[in-house]
Amino acid sequence: MTDGGPGGLREMRWWDIEPVLELERAVFPEDAWSPGMFWSELALAHGPRRSRHYVVADGPGGAAAGYAGLAVAGDQADVQTIAVAPDRQGTGLGARLLTELLAAAGAAGCGEVFLEVRVDNTRAQRLYTRFGFEPLGIRRGYYQPGNHDALVMRRTAPHDHPDES
């Protein structure tokens, strides 16, 4: 993982929750995570039984340009969230965030990585497909309260892809 700096990725800490929440509400207005959800996830990101990996990319003026999180359970991982500020979309930041999560999954010995993505989020689906994720099925009404369906995708390792280098 790269160190802080503009656009650099660094470990998400508790003081990042407020800027991340602002971005969360901007990117996912219907189904944004609550502060408690982020606090719970970050609580699992430290200590000997660590099962989460969260990173943030700094934007101007203390804003978050993007963030991402991964949950690990045994030899499987789940991409919990990825968000990129609207003005940073299309710059490769989403790919860098996903690359970081996949590296963390690999370091944890995960053979499979799963994720859910809204069925109408074709931009994110294209990114995931580039990284070797394949569709598995649909979860009806997964995203609440808007009752939007999710496409479940899986990536098996090892998977070498030119976008990850």
Which active-site residues does the annotation give?
116, 128
Q: Partners of 69 in the beta sheet?
A: 54, 81
Please name the residue that has the structure tokens 């800027």. 19
* Distance, CA of 113 to CA of 156 (rounded, Å): 6
As given in the structure block, the two tokens for residue 125 are 């689906």
Helices and strands in the chain: count of H runs, count of E runs: 4, 7
Contact at 8 Å (CB) between 112 and 156? yes
DSSP letter at 87 equals: G
* Distance, CA of 53 to CA of 145 (rounded, Å): 26
* Distance, CA of 67 to CA of 58 (rounded, Å): 9
Angle, helix 17-27 to helix 35-43, in steps of 10 degrees: 130
